[in-house]
Amino acid sequence: MEQGNVAGAIKLLEGSKVSSDPQVLNALGVAYARNGQLDKAREALSRAKNAGWAEAAANLSQLEGVMADY
């Protein structure tokens, strides 16, 4: 994603064999958010947070702040 290929990152993460892993879900949520897919981002980040991934909780909080501005 750092190289700007967000769509490619999403495709890779969605097809991952460990797509239910909280770290993968967090990365997918961030990619969705960067791609403007905020509802999908919230879902992925919520799943990662519920699985105990602390970084996802912070990312979800930040996303919810952005969504509140819309």
pLDDT in tens, 47-69: 999 999 999 999 999 999 999 98
In a domain, 35, yes or no: yes
pLDDT in tens, 11-46: 999 999 998 999 999 999 999 999 999 999 999 999
Residue 1, domain member (yes or no): no
How far is the C-alpha of 15 from the C-alpha of 59, rounded, in Å?
Answer: 22
Comparing CA positions, the residue from 30, 14, 20, 13 lying closest to residue 52 is 20
Cα–Cα distance, 55 to 53 (Å, whole number): 6
pTM of the entire predicted model: 0.89
User: Does 63 map to a domain?
Assistant: yes
Lookup: tokens for 22: 């909280």
How many domains are there within the chain? 1
Domain interval for residue 62: 6-68
